[in-house]
Structure 1
Amino acid sequence: MSNLKPDSVIACLDCPDHVQAVLEASMWASTRLQAPIGLLHSVPSLQQKAAVNYSGCLNIDDENMLLEQFTTKEHLSNCELKSQGKLLLHQATTYCEQQRKKLKTYTLHRHENLNESIDYVDDKAQLIIIGHNVTCKATLSQLVRVSHCPILVTHAPFLPPTTALFAFDNSPTSHKLLNWLCKTSLVRALTVHIVMIGKDNSENCDALREAYARLKQAGIKSKKALLDCRDVTAALHYYQNENDIGLLMTGAFGQSRIRTLLQGSDTKKLLGSTKTPYLLFPKA
């Protein structure tokens, strides 16, 4: 029987370099969403069983010696992989309890790759949080593309944002993201900059004005900007840097396959270049 709790924040503990950052981001999101944290660790039994060095990934000393014992081997058996995962999950639980005692956490130890694990939690989770450097064979963009749940990608260290940039393009996905932002408590305390990259014409101005009004009506402190620029990625990064914005939010992979093949994906470019937490909303 599954112990997956509905509307959880799922913390993907797949990469040693990002375990603490993922936990910090999960605690930040959990507090705002008033949701439990599901600590997810995937153990794909069919992949190469190389030892992964999780020792020292958290400021917990009681079991680091045991974790270090696993990293002295080049490869681990299925039983050793399972034990390593259990130790990591116990450390992650302890870390969360030490940081914020009122947070509710539970563990999900999956014996499958991260793709399959995300598919398992996808329909019931409220938010999935993953480190920028994933250890599974699938690329980060592939993981994001198949998800039906919002995904927050974080670098290390995680810095709690006070401002957010919402890249609005008047597409069905961006309107779906707009509806979500108006309802969720995740960004309620943030200043949201709604930014549109496109021609300064009446159609774009009207669409941006209406979206901005929706955010204001929802009680979200907001600013708006229309930038006439061909390079979407460069324009968003420039605006984000100029305004010192700590969180980027866009729809995920909204372009057609043909356009992506010919011009490349803005989502993939942003995933590769952004240095702040990046929230991606599933395609409508």
Structure 2
Amino acid sequence: MSNLKPDSVIACLDCPDHVQAVLDASMWAAVRLQAPIGLLYSVPSLQQKAAINYSGCLNIDDESALLEEFTTKEHLSNSELKAQGKLLLYQATAYCGQQHYKRPVYTLHRHEPLVESLDYVDEKSQLVVIGHHLTCKLTLSELVRLSQCPVLVTHVHFLAPTTALFAFDNRPTSHKMLKWLCKTPLVRALTIHIVMIGKENATNCDALREAYARLKQAGINCKKALIESRDVCAALNHYQNEHHLGMLMSGAFGQSRLRELLQGSDTKKLLGSTKTPYLLFPKDL
């Protein structure tokens, strides 16, 4: 995969139901980041050789009969899996062209599982875009935890957001994401609601006020809210739904493993509950 271009937006084409949404989200992000798009296809592992139905995953006719032919087989050989990947990458490139997308698009045909492919590409990329469901053995939350790059998770349909909720918890990962949000053009045109779930005390009020001020100073239109609730996930979902916010943003797995073990992971709960695109910032970036 020597043709990997630095600072790319990586579109993961691992799940048939999400291919079009991943491409739409990647084009939306790449325009704002002024970045090339790398279309990533990872050949499924031996345990996943049952035919994966990619037919009809994009609204174009080119080579659709060949993809349909692959899905009629109960199992695919290695050569057929590779051929299926090449056809999918061809269709994905054609789809971007049909959407009048003008920035560079290139393909990455990786002959290893998705997690190993991402381990390589995310060190040199600006953003990874992935569907909410995966065909690799890892769960979505485990894959996000391993990423060294911001990750945008999309559902089956992607709707370009004009507003976003930034879940700010005053932890180090949240502060790193705040610094990134102030710099990245990805969210420059969005109205951001910075929301903190916690007690209304001096520490939390000061932290929220400072974070809000930094976003304002960066030229971002924003609002702030401090909400007292024991259930972080429920409170964030309620606020997002009440204000019709088009994207959720947070640090990924910012709490300690011990706290996750005792109380559960807020990131994992939000991945399972949110119905909008979810932008996650890695803990160790």
TM interval, short-chain normalised? over 0.9
Equivalent positions of 1:26-45 (< 5 A) are 26-45=26-45
Residue 188 (structure 1) aligned with residue 196 (structure 2): no
SS at match of 1:126: strand
1:66 is displaced (CA, Å) by 0.4
Corresponding residue for residue 168 of structure 2: 168
Distance in structure 1 (CA, Å) of the matches to 2:217 and 2:100: 33
Deviation string, structure 1 residues 77-121 (Cα, Å, up to 9, x no partner)? 000000000000000000001102412100000011111011010
Distance in structure 2 (CA, Å) of the matches to 1:45 and 1:141: 20
Corresponding residue for residue 112 of structure 1: 112
Q: Is contact 1:96–1:103 with CA below 8 Å preserved after alignment?
A: no
Give the letter aligned to residue 34 of structure 2. Answer: Q
Q: Is contact 1:45–1:78 with CA below 8 Å preserved after alignment?
A: no
What is the aligned residue count? Answer: 284
Q: Is contact 1:250–1:279 with CA below 8 Å preserved after alignment?
A: yes
Residue 56 (structure 1) aligned with residue 60 (structure 2): no
**TM-score relative to the length of structure 1:** 0.98
SS at match of 1:152: strand
Distance in structure 2 (CA, Å) of the matches to 1:146 and 1:133: 16
Residue 8 (structure 1) aligned with residue 13 (structure 2): no
Distance in structure 1 (CA, Å) of the matches to 2:49 and 2:57: 20
Q: Is contact 1:158–1:277 with CA below 8 Å preserved after alignment?
A: yes
Give the letter aligned to residue 124 of structure 1. Answer: K
SS at match of 2:185: coil
Deviates more, 1:119-128 or 1:254-263: 254-263
1:213 is displaced (CA, Å) by 0.3
Residue 234 (structure 1) aligned with residue 217 (structure 2): no
SS at match of 1:143: helix
Deviation string, structure 1 residues 110-146 (Cα, Å, up to 9, x no partner)? 0111110110101001000000011111100110001
SS at match of 1:283: coil
**TM-score relative to the length of structure 2:** 0.98
Deviation string, structure 1 residues 30-87 (Cα, Å, up to 9, x no partner)? 1111100000000034333111110100011021100000011000000000000000
Q: Is contact 2:27–2:101 with CA below 8 Å preserved after alignment?
A: no
Corresponding residue for residue 258 of structure 1: 258
Residue 95 (structure 1) aligned with residue 58 (structure 2): no
Corresponding residue for residue 71 of structure 2: 71
Corresponding residue for residue 134 of structure 1: 134
1:216 is displaced (CA, Å) by 0.3
Distance in structure 2 (CA, Å) of the matches to 1:269 and 1:45: 28
1:247 is displaced (CA, Å) by 0.4
Structure 1 consecutive aligned stretches of length 4 or more whose deviation exceeds 3 Å: none
Give the letter aligned to residue 47 of structure 2. Answer: Q
Give the letter aligned to residue 234 of structure 1. Answer: A
Give the letter aligned to residue 135 of structure 1. Answer: T
SS at match of 1:102: coil
- Unaligned runs of 5+ residues in structure 1 are none
Distance in structure 1 (CA, Å) of the matches to 2:129 and 2:235: 26
Q: Is contact 2:131–2:154 with CA below 8 Å preserved after alignment?
A: yes
Corresponding residue for residue 218 of structure 2: 218
Distance in structure 1 (CA, Å) of the matches to 2:261 and 2:200: 27
Distance in structure 1 (CA, Å) of the matches to 2:228 and 2:12: 37
Q: Is contact 2:144–2:151 with CA below 8 Å preserved after alignment?
A: yes
Equivalent positions of 1:141-160 (< 5 A) are 141-160=141-160
